[in-house]
Amino acid sequence: MAQEEQSLLSAEIINRGIHPSGPDAGSPTFSVRVQRRLPDFLQSVNLKYVKLGYHYLITHAIYLATIPVLVLVFSAEVGSISKEELWRKIWEDTRYDLVSLLAFFAVLVFTLSVYFMSKPRPIYLIDFACYKPSDDLKVSKEEFIELARKSGKFDEASLDFQGRIVQSSGIGDETYVPKAIMLPENCATMKEGRAEASEVIFGALDELFEKCRIRPKDVGILVVNCSLFNPTPSLSAMIVNHYKMRGNILSFNLGGMGCSAGVIALDLARDMLQANPNNYAVVVSTEMVAFNWYPGRNRSMLIPNCFFRMGCSAVLLSNRRHDFRRAKYRLEHIVRTHKGADDRSFRSVYQEEDEHRHKGLAISRDLLEVGGDALKTNITTLGPIVLPVSEQLLFFSTLVRKQLFGSSKTTKPYIPDYKLAFEHFCVHAASKTVLDEMEKNLELSDKNMEASRMTLHRFGNTSSSCIWYELAYLEAKERVRRGDRVWQLGFGSGFKCNSAVWRALRRVRKPNKNPWLDCIERYPVAM
């Protein structure tokens, strides 16, 4: 990316003040200096998040520690006497004490009942669908700029700026945009927003219901997330109306939660499935491109125009144990990180109006820095939950050493190898710069980042649905085998960074319906 564009994506704060007047009076204002990369994770890791990860592990899996201890104690006791002596001892001690024997079995039954009743229900992913727009909405990078010029909404300086961004963005020549954004009139209307929402959402859901062979009335929980387009009635109500879903459906509509909302929606669906047995949940993740199109000249607001493209995903989850046989994945963990308490993080991606009252999404120069901080927090919390024992020991030794001897400038914290914890990586395809820095700082290989890079190239940044297009890429390549672990990582406004971990229950063959089927043989491509 050219120096001018890069400077818009990363910076370091050096001063803080307060807006004296205007619509932002009383809110913080910042003076920044350019920093053109993510912070190096090796330089500093806040170990309190490591402790948070261990706390999560102990809280959710205490039986993993108690069961081996009980087994060892029982084995040691039994191993010291013969089978005949053991039987004689049990018989002699209990034949005259029926009350004690019944009490023992009552406690055993009670303990097992509490364990199985409190154990979280497994959450299965039956299947998912990613919407693929029609070819008449496909544009190349050159066509994108030419259509922007014909719309008459931008001056030459703005067109030149967007052209440089697009050329260095990592986006290819087959992404999709709504026709409305290139028309001279205003496209950010409720009519255009609803039209685009109907197209992408119903397209994804129609495919999902067909693939899973279920009726819309079978769905008991519906969660929809769309960050910037939130009409009344809601998008979830629009879906219920279109498919004539049942009247007691539990529906939720998440708005304003950015590109990481796909994992947040999964978390909500998981909680609802835990509370409502024998149910199906559908999670829809999307964003409306036309409604959020910025026609002004503010360069920080022009950046989203260059990256965001049409897309939508629909996922079917189940807590029915008999769905284990047909499910593709089981949900293992969700770890969420929210940095909204920090002012820079809060304003790093901010919807506002420019001096000409044009609404747009402003990208702060602090974005890469605050994003790196949120990512660092998230992965250090996730580490103790997913890493193998060898990495756990090295990770834990760093924590102990710092607690006993304090921090040292010459001793760098140990950054674990996450390639040992996951076979597949689905990192939110925000931009080429972000993916490059992710690969460098987490020491991932080109193969690990392939799904993210190719999704950015083929479909652009589709916001919260990106991670599902990436998983669809892995399935189209037939790389997912039984037992494989998949890490979906999303980040977005707030600032939030969220992780979802899945385990494949079977080998996933190339599906009959997949957005990559017509082009998968051409990928990967050089970027």
> Which DSSP category does 413 fall into?
P
Nearest to 507 by CA among 471, 483, 477: 483
> Which DSSP category does 245 fall into?
-
Q: Which amino acid is at 107?
A: V
- Neighbour tally for 124: CB within 10 Å: 23
Contact 304, 246 (CB under 8 A): no
End-to-end CA distance of the chain: 12
Task: Tell me the DSSP string of 350-364.
Answer: EEEE-TT--EEEEEP
Nearest-angstrom CA–CA distance, 166 and 141? 7
Nearest-angstrom CA–CA distance, 292 and 310? 12
250-254/329-338 β-pairing:
unpaired
The kind and range of the H/E element at 17 are strand 11-18
Only one residue has tokens 């190349």, namely 140
| Count of helix runs (H) and strand runs (E) in the chain | 17, 15
Q: Please give the angle made by the CA atoms of 464, 468 and 470, to the nearest 5 degrees.
A: 110
Q: Please give the angle made by the CA atoms of 424, 306 and 166, to the nearest 5 degrees.
A: 85
Q: For the CA atoms of 501, 502, 508, 512, what is the dihedral angle to 10 degrees? A: -80
485-492/424-427 β-pairing:
parallel
> Hey, which residues are catalytic here?
259, 338, 424, 428, 457, 461
b/e map 100-115, b = 16+ CB within 10 Å: eeeeeeeeeeeeeeee
Nearest-angstrom CA–CA distance, 376 and 50? 10
Q: Which amino acid is at 202?
A: F
Contact 414, 401 (CB under 8 A): no
